[in-house]
Amino acid sequence: MSRKYETIAVEDHGEGLVILRLDRPQVANAMNTQMGHDLLAFFETVNAAPLAHRCILLTGTGDKAFCAGGDLKERQGMTDETWQAQHLLFERTIRAFIGCPVPVIGAINGAAYAGGCELALCCDFLYAAETARFALTEVTLGIMPGAGGTQSLPRAVGERRAKEIILTGRPFSARDAYEWGMVNRLCAADSLLAETSETARRIADNAPISVRQAKHAIHFGLQMDLASAMMFEIEAYNRMVPTEDRREGIASFNEKRKPRFKGR
């Protein structure tokens, strides 16, 4: 992916692995209108050509913040119409992010507040530095989470815990997030990227159609009753039977070698 962006940095690490950085460290990687445009463009590009990517690692530039949320200095003095137009952009960005068929793994390197916490919750799963902190602070500012937080957080930590977090606006630690099931692994700050990259690389090395179909089945199956979800799973499974990758996977096992998956 060769396109240059103003507020995000995209690093191609080869064989389908991409590191995506929120890149406004001077303002704790706060999300302004341009970052909304940049993230939307990035995910629309990925979604339009999913075969070009196998795993995305999302993190923030610097060691202080993943993302401090919306850029409140930019929002100072905004008219209602301008605010709503910006938020519509953010809504489109979140939908493109959640709809991404390629796995997105979060490496939460610092504060993930408000919209930054919501971005983290869009990831398929999270690793976090032990020093990271999270919060959904919107109610302390006269608004409420509007980038999926009221929906994604209860699915991660349960309804009652989510209500406590959102209605108080109180920050919580990476350790809390881990114990509540929101974060999959705690890492030392200096090993976070390496540990997350190792997992992302493992995913990228697997059969890409299989990975995408499994992600698809989990995401949508959880929104169905069990019988419907089981039928949905089989539809996803049958997509892989006629693929070259399925034949390569079985051949490599029997030949005792590493598989060479091509995504077809």
If asked whether residues 174 and 144 sit together in one domain, one would say yes
If asked whether residues 185 and 250 sit together in one domain, one would say no
If asked whether residues 63 and 88 sit together in one domain, one would say yes
Residue 3 lies in a domain: no
Residue 1 lies in a domain: no
Please tell me the predicted confidence (pLDDT) of residue 184.
Answer: 98
Q: How many domains does the chain have?
A: 2
Catalytic residue among 15, 44, 81, 138: 138
- Per-residue pLDDT band for 26 (boundaries 50, 70, 90) equals very high
Identify which has the larger pLDDT, 32 or 50. Answer: 32
DSSP annotation of 7 reads: S
Please tell me the predicted confidence (pLDDT) of residue 186.
Answer: 98
> Is pLDDT of 240 > 90?
no
The sheet carrying 111-113 orders its strands as 65-67, 111-113, 133-135, 172-173
If asked whether residues 216 and 186 sit together in one domain, one would say no
Cα distances from 152 to residues 22, 118, 124, 211, 247, in angstroms, run: 20, 8, 11, 22, 37
CB distance 58 to 109 below 8 Å:
no
Both ends of the chain: CA-CA distance in Å? 20
Residue 264 lies in a domain: no
Q: pLDDT for 147-173, tens place per residue?
A: 999 999 999 999 999 999 999 999 999
If asked whether residues 172 and 51 sit together in one domain, one would say yes
Question: Among 164, 188, 204, where does a domain finish?
Answer: 204
> Is pLDDT of 109 > 60?
yes
Tokens, residue 145: 């989470």
Q: Which of 159, 158, 136 is nearest to 149 (CA)?
A: 136
Catalytic residue among 11, 81, 91, 118: 118
- Per-residue pLDDT band for 3 (boundaries 50, 70, 90) equals confident
Q: Which of 119, 111, 112 is nearest to 147 (CA)?
A: 119
If asked whether residues 44 and 61 sit together in one domain, one would say yes
Identify which has the larger pLDDT, 174 or 260. Answer: 174
If asked whether residues 241 and 156 sit together in one domain, one would say no
pTM listed for this prediction: 0.92
Cα–Cα dist 27/9, whole Å:
15
If asked whether residues 110 and 195 sit together in one domain, one would say yes
If asked whether residues 247 and 220 sit together in one domain, one would say yes
If asked whether residues 43 and 146 sit together in one domain, one would say yes
If asked whether residues 170 and 108 sit together in one domain, one would say yes
Q: Is-catalytic flag, 118?
A: yes
Q: Output the domain CATH number for residue 248.
A: 1.10.12.10
Q: pLDDT for 136-145, tens place per residue?
A: 999 999 999 9
Please tell me the predicted confidence (pLDDT) of residue 1.
Answer: 55
Look up the domain containing 132 and give its range: 8-204
The Cβ of residue 202 has, within 10 Å, a number of other Cβ atoms equal to 10
Q: pLDDT for 49-104, tens place per residue?
A: 988 999 999 999 998 999 999 999 988 998 999 999 999 999 999 999 999 999 99
> Is pLDDT of 2 > 70?
no
With tokens 């091509």, the residue in question is: 262
Residue 127 lies in a domain: yes
> Is pLDDT of 250 > 80?
yes
Q: Output the domain CATH number for residue 63.
A: 3.90.226.10
Cα–Cα dist 134/136, whole Å:
7
If asked whether residues 245 and 146 sit together in one domain, one would say no
Residue 223 lies in a domain: yes
| Residue 192 phi, psi (nearest 5) | -55, -50
> Is pLDDT of 130 > 60?
yes
Q: Is-catalytic flag, 138?
A: yes
Residue 45 lies in a domain: yes
Q: pLDDT for 178-231, tens place per residue?
A: 999 999 999 999 999 999 999 999 999 999 999 999 999 999 999 999 999 999
